[in-house]
Chain A
Amino acid sequence: MSDALPSSGERTSMITLESVYHTYDAQKPHPVMALRGIDLHIEQGEYVVLIGRNGSGKSTLAKHLNALLLPSQGEVFIKGMNTKDPQHVTAIRHTVGMVFQVPDNQLVATVVEEDVAFGPENMGLPHRELRERVDEALTIVDMVEYRDRPPHLLSAGQKQRVAIAGAIAMRPACLVLDEATAMLDPRGRREVLDTAQRLHAQGITILAITHFMHEAVEGSRVIVLDQGTIAMDGTPREVFSQTDRLRQLGLDVPPVTRLAGRIHRRQPAFPTPLLSVEECVEELGRFPQSTGVGG
């Protein structure tokens, strides 16, 4: 039975997970339950950051979103399409694009522009459309001048941008970044995050999975995953204000947030949590400087 027509209002969101469980190695002596009852709705246009320690189930959850994995129990709907239905798999993968952690292991062709064309080629698009999409995608990720380079000569950050181009060339409504910044240096990370912001500004739903707390501020919603369940779900400020809970979950807040927290304890009018260096400087700037201390 296919769920081609959404029967309830809930299933019109971009992504819906209903009581999703996933067990690895179910038949073997030591099965691992990676997801334990996830209920989640993500709407079109959101920028959601999914955070959790290693082993929390983040990657497993990501792979359910484009039917790379199917739930052992529960249902996953992408724009109303059930991932368990084989007839929908292609459409689902055109709707949700994914970028993975290791930049090298996503690039399949010997030349950048050919790799970006891989997805559209799979879609069977006519030649002119292929060229259009490749040009468009490369422009968005700012890699046009590298179009005829071989991938192994690019930096890790550049490779990731090519991987992103390859995903968005399929014009997905949603892009999942599965720990896409984990192996990058600070500059590479910045390049990828800026690209994600650009895409978000164009209306693409972004789901960024990471274990870096300071990346949580990129989005408007933070979901904290712990041992296969959703432990926290709110705006970055809401989540960061619960520092004790975060520490319990093996996570921490960025140093600037900790600093803001401490100052707040001395002066309750000082806002907390603060998420960035700029915010902190801005807020402190409102206070008068002490007199008599070389001021």
Chain B
Amino acid sequence: MTDYSAFRHLTIGQYLPYGSMVHRLDPRAKIVMFSLLVAAVTFANSYTASVILLVVLLGVVRLSRTPLRFALQGLRPALPWIAVFALMQLLFYRNPYGPKACSTIWNWGFIDITTCSIRQIGLMILRLLEFMILISLLTLTTRTTELTHGLERLLSPLKRLRFPAHELALVFAIALRFAPTLAGELERIMKAQASRGADFGEGGRLGFIQRTRNLLPLLVPLFISALRRAEDLALAMEARGYTGGRGRTSYLQLRALPRDYLALALVGAFCVAILFSTLDVLDGFIFSAVSAWAREVFFHIVH
């Protein structure tokens, strides 16, 4: 049973005003911290580092007074994909460390499940979790308008190099402004076409190709509507005296306070520490614990 109205309430990008200190940080600082943390998450290569990152991130979520389930909301639609990736990794991972570094848990033809593949999957899942929390943290604690202004201010020095910072920020802001509107429109169009007997795979009986072809009655009207809105909006903007970024002032004022610099310094130091550490104290412990558990599971499945 399809609940068409779910589209309207996507929570990625939704601002939840819990008024914590995280909410009150300058958006420019938050964007930079976000980028640093993304780098740390991407390049941390030990269980220990990842676990520390996870704990720290969960701590920040707590600090922001946001309930954890919101931070993990984005995970739910991605779960089937994560499962697929995990399976692919599990079955097809090629060990780059040499046969001595990993012990085989199970072997069947070219499928080689080793402790190393388990390790990779573990890391991958941890990383995904951390990315999800990071993105949610940023969007749940920062108004979209702050995000776009923050981005524009950060990129504005690049204007001297003819980089269209203002235009990009405007495009971003308008996209965010219209995302829920277009989602609502998609809902309306789906209902209208379904009412005419169109099948959107309710019940999943359709093949992939058929399902794609069935998208035309959805995508064409949506696209045309988006174009029409763009035209109308451009006219309205012109009528209100918009002639590009030059000479514009800003209603939203951003002021960096000492606490923003402090937070930035802390996070910066932390990320540097993570990236350049070779901390794998816990690695051995976690590694063997997970491997033992995995071995047990496989034995039970296979035998």
Contact = CB atoms under 8 A, between A and B. Distances in A.
Instruction: Check whether chain A touches chain B (CB < 8 angstroms).
Output: yes
Contact of B233 (A63, A90, A105, A131): A105
Given A104-B181, A109-B177, A122 B233 contact: no
A155 to B, nearest CB: 13
Interface residues of A, number: 41
A118 B177 contact: no
Contact of B235 (A68, A122, A150): A68
B150 to A, nearest CB: 13
A33 B145 CA distance: 43
Contact of A127 (B143, B144, B253): B253
A167 B180 CA distance: 24
Interface stretch (A19-27, A73-81, A94-102, A252-260): A94-102
Nearest to B180: A152
A68 B240 contact: no
A122 B242 contact: yes
B266 interface: no
A202 to B, nearest CB: 20
A117 interface: yes
Nearest to A106: B236
Given A110-B144, A121-B249, A100 B235 contact: yes
A226 interface: no
Contact of B181 (A66, A68, A130, A152): A152
B249 A151 contact: no
Given A110-B143, A131-B251, A170 B236 contact: no
A134 interface: yes
A113 interface: yes
Contacts of A173: none
B249 A126 contact: yes
Most buried by B among A122, A125, A127, A166: A122
Contacts, number: 100
Interface string B136-159: 000000011100100000000000
Contact of B242 (A102, A114, A118, A151): A118
Contact of B236 (A108, A123, A130): A108
B303 to A, nearest CB: 57
A111 interface: yes
A170 B241 contact: yes
A111 B181 contact: no
A114 B251 contact: yes
Contacts of A108: 173-174, 177, 233, 236-237
Nearest to B17: A148
A121 B245 CA distance: 10
B241 A119 contact: yes
Interface in B214-244: 228-229, 232-233, 235-243
A147 to B, nearest CB: 11
A107 interface: yes
Contacts of A102: 229, 232
Given A110-B145, A127-B253, A119 B177 contact: no
A90 B251 contact: no
Nearest to B232: A105
Given A110-B173, A114-B145, A114-B251, A104 B243 contact: no
A260 to B, nearest CB: 39
Contacts of A68: 235, 238-239
Contact of A125 (B176, B238, B249): B249
A106 B242 contact: no
Interface in B176-200: 176-177, 180-181, 184
A64 interface: no
Given A93-B238, A108-B236, 5 more contacts: A110-B173, A121-B249, A127-B249, A152-B181, A166-B240
23 contacts: A93-B239, A97-B239, A98-B236, A100-B236, A105-B233, A107-B177, A108-B174, A108-B177, A108-B237, A109-B145, A110-B143, A113-B251, A114-B251, A117-B251, A118-B240, A119-B240, A122-B248, A124-B247, A124-B249, A125-B249, A126-B249, A130-B249, A150-B177
Give the top 6 A-B pairs by smallest Cβ distance, nearest first.
Answer: A105-B232, A117-B251, A119-B240, A122-B241, A106-B236, A152-B180
